[in-house]
Structure 1
Amino acid sequence: MMKSPVNHLSPAKQFLLFVAVFAGVFVACNILGFVVIAVFFGLKILTDIGTANFSNPQTLRALYILQILAMTLPIFLGPWVFSKWVVKNTEEYLRTNKRFHLILLALVFVIMMVSVPLIEVLGNFNQGLVLPKWLKGLEDWMRASEKAAELLTAAILKMNTIWDVIKNVILLGVLTAIAEEIMFRGVLQTILHKWTKNIHASIWIGAALFSAFHMEFYGFLPRMLLGGIFGYLVAYSGSIWPAIWGHFLNNSTIVVVTYLYQKNIITLNPEDTNVFNTPIYLFSLIIIIILLIVYKKVALDKKLNPVVNGEKLG
C-alpha cells in the first residue's frame, strides 16, 4: 500500500532547505574534525595538512580522520537528516529500500569498465580548456586549487602495504560511494526531478552539481559523465544500490591499479591520459548507450522484477 504524501514543500523550498541542512551539518562535522585532530595530534598537524606537508607520519593519519569526519560524514548525515526530519520520507529520497534484479549489478560492472576510454577523452579535453585572458586570475586560482587537491589525493594513494589498500578501498570505495550517491542521486536527484519534471534534466543538473562539489575544475567533465551514468542507474532501477556499486567500482579500481603500479606489478601508469585512440572513444560511447538501454529494459522487465504485495520490485 502506497503512503500518502507527508509534506507539501515545493521542490524549490526543498532544495533550499536541503542546502541549509547540509551546510549546518557540514560546519558541525568540520568543527568536530578540527577538535579531534587538535586534541589527538595538535594544531600544527592542521597546518601541515593545509600545506600538504606529509614529512610527519602522523599527518597522513590525521588526514584520514579529517576526511572521514569533515567530509564523508556530513555528506552522509546531511541527506539522512533532511529525509528523516524535514520531508519525513527516507524511502523516496534515499532510495535504499527498493529491490532490484542482481543482473543489473553485472551490467553496471561492464558499463564502468567500458566507460574508461570515454572518461579519458573527456579528461584530456577538459585539461586543454583555457579561459579568456581577462579571467587569467581565476584560471590561475583554479589550477592552484587543482594542484593542492592532487597533492592530498597523492598522499592518500601512497600505499606501501595491502592494509593501506584496504583502508583506501573502505574510505574512497565504500564510504565515499555510499555517502555521495545518497546525497546526489538520492536526495538531490529526487528534488530536481520534482522541480524540473524531466528525468534527464534532473540527472544532468545533479551530475553537474556532483562534479562542481569536488572543486576539481580540470576534472569537471569526466566526473560529470560519471554522475550522469550513476543518475540513470538510479532512475531506471529506482534503487540507489546500483549507483553505489558503480561508484565503488570506479574508485576502488583507481586505488588497486595505483597500488599495483607503485609496486611495479603492472607497467600501465594510472595517470597516463593517452592510452586509447579515437575509434576506441567512439566505441566506448556507443557501447555505454547500448548497455544503458539494456539496463533499463532489465530494470523494467516484470518477469525479472515480479510484483510482491502489490508493489513492483526493481
Structure 2
Amino acid sequence: MSFGKEAAPLPPKSALWTSLLLFIPAFLAGLFFFNFIGLLLALPFFEWDINRLLMATASPSGNDRLGLLVMQGVIAVGSFLLVPAWFMARFDADKNLYQQTLAGIRQPTPPIFWLIAIGIVLFALPMIAWAVKWNEGWQFPAFLAEFEKWAQAKEADLKRLTLLLVDFQSVGELLLGIFVIAVIPGIGEEWLFRGFLQQRFQQLFGNPHVAVWVAAIIFSAFHLQFYGFVPRTILGAVFGYLFIFTGNLAVPMLAHFFNNAYTVLLMYAYNQKWIAFNIEDSPEIPVVMAAASALLVGGTLAWLRQLKN
C-alpha cells in the first residue's frame, strides 16, 4: 500500500479476502516446513541425536541454548519473512503490494524518523510495564479455570525458555542471541504483521486505525502468551502507527529490533551482575506515570505524522 502517493487500483475486495484466506494454509505449511529445516540444522548441536533434540524442545537445559537459538532463527526467517514475501510476490491478488512495500523500505528516510522511533520505544516503557503488571493480575471466572491453568502453564514454560536462551555465556552467544531474538523478529515479524496483514486489513476495511489494532491483536495472539497479551498488543499498535505515519516498513523494523535488543542487553547485563535491576521483575508503575507515558507516545506519534506531511 502506498502512503502519500496515488495508489494503484485495488482488486475487488472478494479477491483480497480470498488471498488473505489462502495465505493461512500457505503460512501453516511454511511453518511446518521451516520447523523441519530448523530441526535438521540444529541436529549438529545435539550430536546428531534426534531424541535428544526433541527432548530439548520440550525440556531445554543450558547446554541446548545454541541449538535452540539456531532452530528458532531458521523458523522465524522462513515463516515470518520468506513465506509472506513469497506469497505476496507470487500469489497475492494485489501484485503491487509487494513492490510498493519494498519501494517504501528503499525510499530515503530522514534520520529524525529513526531517532523518533527509538525515542517512542523508550517513552513507552512505563506504559508497557504498567500494562504487563495489570495483565498479569487477570483472574478468570470458574468456568474458565482450565483455560487459566493452561495459560499460566504456557506462560511459565515460555518464561523458562526465554531465561535459558538469554543466559549467554560469552560475547559470541550474546551476538547470536541479538541476531535471533532482535534482528530476525524485527525484520520478519514486521514484514508479516505490518507489511502484509496490516496493509491488507487497511485495504479491506478502509480504516487505518482498525487495520493497526486488528494486526496488533493478531501479532500478540500469535505469541501465545495470554498474560502478556495486552502490553504486546499495545506495542504492536505502536509499530503499526510508525508504519502508517512514515510509509516505510524499515522504521517499525528498527523500533522492533531496538525494543528486543534493549531487553536482551539488559538481561545480559543483569546476568553478568553489571546492574542490579532485573527487567523480568515487573515493577509497580503508578497510573499517573503510565498515563504520562501514553500521552508522550501519542504526542510523539502525532509529531511524526506532522513531519511526514
Decide: shared fold, TM above 0.5.
yes
Deviation of 1:100 after TM superposition, in Å, equals 2.4
Contact 2:80 2:188 in 1 (8 A): yes
The CA distance in 2 between the partners of 1:67 and 1:45, in whole Å, is 17
Match of 1:97 among 101, 106, 113: 106
The CA distance in 2 between the partners of 1:291 and 1:205, in whole Å, is 22
Deviation of 1:192 after TM superposition, in Å, equals 0.5
- Please tell me the residue identity of whatever aligns with 1:31: F
Match of 1:289 among 264, 289, 298: 298
Match of 2:26 among 16, 21, 39: 21
User: What SS does the corresponding residue of 1:41 show, helix, strand or coil?
Assistant: coil
The CA distance in 2 between the partners of 1:244 and 1:117, in whole Å, is 21
The CA distance in 2 between the partners of 1:166 and 1:61, in whole Å, is 11
**C-alpha distance after superposition, 1:236-256 (max 9, x if no partner):** 111101100110110000011
- Please tell me the residue identity of whatever aligns with 1:51: A
The CA distance in 2 between the partners of 1:138 and 1:3, in whole Å, is 45
Evaluate the alpha carbon distance shift between residue 4 and residue 278 of structure 1 in structure 2; reply closer, same or farther with a 3 A threshold.
closer
1:30 equivalenced with 2:39 (yes/no): no
The CA distance in 1 between the partners of 2:239 and 2:286, in whole Å, is 25
- Please tell me the residue identity of whatever aligns with 1:285: A
The CA distance in 2 between the partners of 1:167 and 1:237, in whole Å, is 30
Match of 2:76 among 63, 71, 79: 71
Contact 2:245 2:305 in 1 (8 A): yes
Mapping for residues 156-195 of structure 1, pairs under 5 Å: 156-195=165-204
Contact 1:79 1:182 in 2 (8 A): yes
Range with bigger deviation, 9-18 or 157-166: 9-18
Deviation of 1:286 after TM superposition, in Å, equals 1.1
Mapping for residues 1-314 of structure 1, pairs under 5 Å: 4-5=8-9, 8=12, 10-38=15-43, 41-54=48-61, 57=63, 59-87=64-92, 88-89=95-96, 90-93=98-101, 95-274=104-283, 276-300=285-309
- Please tell me the residue identity of whatever aligns with 1:48: M
The CA distance in 2 between the partners of 1:43 and 1:15, in whole Å, is 36
**C-alpha distance after superposition, 1:110-140 (max 9, x if no partner):** 1111110000111111111111111111111
The CA distance in 1 between the partners of 2:306 and 2:85, in whole Å, is 30
Deviation of 1:92 after TM superposition, in Å, equals 3.1
Deviation of 1:52 after TM superposition, in Å, equals 2.3
Deviation of 1:6 after TM superposition, in Å, equals 8.1
Contact 1:11 1:192 in 2 (8 A): no
Evaluate the alpha carbon distance shift between residue 264 and residue 142 of structure 1 in structure 2; reply closer, same or farther with a 3 A threshold.
same
Deviation of 1:43 after TM superposition, in Å, equals 1.2
- Please tell me the residue identity of whatever aligns with 2:289: I
The CA distance in 2 between the partners of 1:29 and 1:21, in whole Å, is 12
The CA distance in 2 between the partners of 1:245 and 1:294, in whole Å, is 18
Structure 1 gap segments, 5+ residues each: 301-314
Contact 1:146 1:216 in 2 (8 A): yes
Contact 1:52 1:151 in 2 (8 A): no
The CA distance in 2 between the partners of 1:175 and 1:190, in whole Å, is 21
Runs of 4+ in 1 over 4 A off after TM superposition: 1-9
**C-alpha distance after superposition, 1:49-104 (max 9, x if no partner):** 2332315x2x2222112102223321111211111101233123554334322211
Deviation of 1:4 after TM superposition, in Å, equals 4.8
Contact 2:117 2:254 in 1 (8 A): yes
| TM-score when normalising by structure 1 | 0.89
Evaluate the alpha carbon distance shift between residue 3 and residue 137 of structure 1 in structure 2; reply closer, same or farther with a 3 A threshold.
closer
The CA distance in 1 between the partners of 2:101 and 2:109, in whole Å, is 17
